Structure 1
């Protein structure tokens, strides 16, 4: 299954970043590279102050569990939003529900 993930810094983090913010960001980048290598992150971009990614997982719960392991998520620095993606019906409208 494919999912859209958006990770955004919590408002308090934007107004008063913790002293170890860059360390946590570097740790996140290492995990993101591993997730990309493992096929979980299919593509990832910066968007505003956060990131967005197209992800693959067996279920939404599995993906949320993996994203919760990101160092910035564990530290309570980011909010995680995950949306399940569905096939676009425009390519085969006769098959659309």
Structure 2
């Protein structure tokens, strides 16, 4: 199962020097989590100090357990928001033969060229 993880550095409680001390080991552990397939994609956040990542785990408990291996998390320097993700079914429904052909012709709401099906 995939999860969206938003982390935020607790800059109100820790100094830049506190974070800088752990950044090298944090980066090494982040690379390790990517190499084992836990982290699928990762970005720096543009709104606050922290990261956004898509991770793969069997359940939310495993996500918490694995994130706890990050040095900044172990030090209590990060807050996490974890969002379970589900597959998006909209495209498969739109292209299904059981969908009324009228909807196929009116598919321009997707922001794509209109799909025409005369089957």
Aligned to 2:25: 27
Aligned to 1:38: 36
Structure-2-length-normalised TM-score: 0.71
Deviates more, 1:16-25 or 1:73-82: 16-25
Q: Per residue, is there more strand in 1 or in 2?
A: 1
Aligned to 1:67: 67
Aligned to 2:10: 10
Q: Deviations over 1:24-76 (max 9, x none)?
A: 12111111100000000001000131100010011110011110121101111
Alignment gaps of 5+ in structure 1: none
Which whole-Å CA distance do the structure 1 matches of 2:4 and 2:34 have between them?
14
